Amino acid sequence: MKVLAMVLAGGQGSRLHPLTAERSKPAVPFGGRYRIADFVLSNMVNSEIRGIYMMVQYKSQSLIEHVAKAWGNSNAYTGQFVTVVPPQMREGPEWFQGTSDAVFQNINLIERHSPDLVAVFGADHIYRMDVRQMIDFHRRNSAHVSVAAIPVPLAEASSFGIIDADKRQRIRGFLEKPANPPAMISDPTRAYGSMGNYLFNTEVLLKALREANDNGEHDFGHHILPRLIKTHQVLAYNFADNHVPGVADYEEQSYWRDVGNIDAYYDAHYDVLSAKPRFNLFNPKWFINSSAYQGPSPMITGEISNSTIAAGSRVSGARIKNSMLRREVIVEEDVEIEDSLIMDYTVIRRGSRLKRVIVDRYNVIEENSRIGFDAAADRARYTVSDGGIVVLAKGEDIAGVTRYQI
């Protein structure tokens, strides 16, 4: 069974601004060393899907460079590759007009490889998934298309694209954030939320893409799939049935988060931060790959509790609680950081206090700064989310202070 992956990584991520001011959503850093796109790519490689094309579009340079550094070795073996594909404009001067148009503009890549199945997955989510189990479901049930679906409580379902499926998992309809979502047949307290991950029989996909293009349609969720449910076997794959090896009993077994806005992004970090996290990033049986950083180990003095500090960072007599510091962060004396995410190459000068703050890369926090304590003052200078998280946009490269100069 030959499977080709087409990963959609062109998301603009406007609700994650200012973290997406200079990068696409899949390129946004996550945790101590990852980018959001690393999760879908790791799922594919761990699932032994070796041929992966990643469609990029908005502000893609950061993601292109990251994939080259982190995933370049994937091209070392015949038939194994992770290749970034910007808009080729083969059909005209337009960029990708939607999810299905991104795949249609690269239909020649599918035809070149002649796979049995095409996995069309998004690159915007934090999760683990053994795609082979979805493939087994797809084949066992003679599906033409399978759509990954996550059970969500009915009270929260109006925030999702919802799938209405019968008792045999055949999809009857798609509803976008419905006020009264239909419950799952097997669990009347939950509804199926669409994860935006699809498996297609190749012939079905190619025909649907061409038909959509002829009709001026550009989206899987709004155009192609609603039409296919009338003529083909389109099934909902229950993500709760997916079991990845190495997941601990204390973890949320079917963990999946759409980190589409600042508050969801911030909250997801606290799902991975504790002695027994909801989603443990360290799983030797399902490794999450990222760039191979070659800097030094961190140097730490101070009071550190429930926090992670990445390689190359230096903490000198600070107090850090419930926070994440990415690589090459410098924290000077008498600094207090609480409930905050500090990204790479940031300098926090002595005497500063930060609480519920996200600091993007290349920032210098001046001496005795106070961020996260005065909402009006924070809004005057920075972005503040609906949940009260203060976000500092990406700064300029700090010559002579970071990037191994510590």
pLDDT digits (tens, 9 = 90+) for 245-260: 999 999 999 999 999 9
236 and 327 together in one domain: no
241 and 308 together in one domain: no
Total number of domains in the chain: 2
Place of tokens 């796109």: 37
205 assigned to some structural domain: yes
Which residues span the domain enclosing 352? 299-392
268 assigned to some structural domain: no
211 assigned to some structural domain: yes
110 and 45 together in one domain: yes
For the stretch 270-296, pLDDT in tens is 999 988 999 999 999 999 999 878 889
Answer with the one of 232, 258, 284 that is the final residue of a domain. 258
Q: Which pLDDT value is given to residue 398?
A: 58
Q: Are the C-beta atoms of residues 399 and 382 closer than 8 Å to each other?
A: no
208 and 328 together in one domain: no
Q: Which pLDDT value is given to residue 323?
A: 98
- Whether the CA torsion 152, 153, 158, 164 is positive or negative: it is positive
Q: Quick one: pLDDT band at residue 72, thresholds 50, 70, 90?
A: confident
130 and 64 together in one domain: yes
54 and 143 together in one domain: yes
CATH number of the domain where residue 93 is located = 3.90.550.10
**Type of residue at 213:** N
Q: Which pLDDT value is given to residue 295?
A: 84
Q: Which pLDDT value is given to residue 404?
A: 41
* Statement: residue 86 has pLDDT above 90: no
156 assigned to some structural domain: yes
201 versus 400: the higher-pLDDT residue is: 201
Q: What pairs with residue 83 in β-bridges?
A: 53
**Nearest C-alpha neighbor of 11 from the set 30, 28, 29, 25:** 25
**Nearest C-alpha neighbor of 263 from the set 391, 360, 395, 177:** 391
* Statement: residue 397 has pLDDT above 80: no
**Nearest C-alpha neighbor of 63 from the set 103, 90, 34, 96:** 34
239 and 358 together in one domain: no
Q: Which pLDDT value is given to residue 216?
A: 85
User: Residue 84 and residue 65: Cα distance in Å, rounded?
Assistant: 10
Q: Which pLDDT value is given to residue 91?
A: 60
**pLDDT, average across residues 288-308:** 92
* Statement: residue 405 has pLDDT above 50: no
**pLDDT, average across residues 398-405:** 50
Q: Which pLDDT value is given to residue 59?
A: 86
Is cis: bond before 29, omega within 30 of 0?
A: no
Average pLDDT, the chain: 92
* Statement: residue 156 has pLDDT above 70: yes
Residues making up the annotated binding site are: 161, 176-177, 194
124 assigned to some structural domain: yes
Angle between helices 37-46 and 61-71 (to 10 degrees): 30
Answer with the one of 258, 281, 312 that is the final residue of a domain. 258
389 versus 275: the higher-pLDDT residue is: 389
Give the Å distances, CA to CA, from 107 to 86, 87, 167, 213.
14, 12, 34, 11
Q: Which pLDDT value is given to residue 87?
A: 73
The pTM for the full model equals 0.94
Residues making up the annotated binding site for alpha-D-glucose 1-phosphate are: 161, 176-177, 194
332 assigned to some structural domain: yes
8 and 75 together in one domain: yes
CATH number of the domain where residue 370 is located = 2.160.10.10
Q: Quick one: pLDDT band at residue 406, thresholds 50, 70, 90?
A: very low
147 and 67 together in one domain: yes
**Type of residue at 394:** K
Q: Quick one: pLDDT band at residue 9, thresholds 50, 70, 90?
A: very high
* Statement: residue 74 has pLDDT above 90: no
The least confident of 68-82, 166-180, 251-265 is: 68-82
Q: Are the C-beta atoms of residues 58 and 10 closer than 8 Å to each other?
A: yes
**pLDDT, average across residues 193-211:** 97
330 and 216 together in one domain: no
Q: Quick one: pLDDT band at residue 401, thresholds 50, 70, 90?
A: low
357 and 221 together in one domain: no
279 assigned to some structural domain: no
292 assigned to some structural domain: no
CB atoms closer than 10 angstroms to residue 64: 16
251 and 379 together in one domain: no
Q: How many CA atoms lie within 13 A of 107 on its CB side?
A: 18
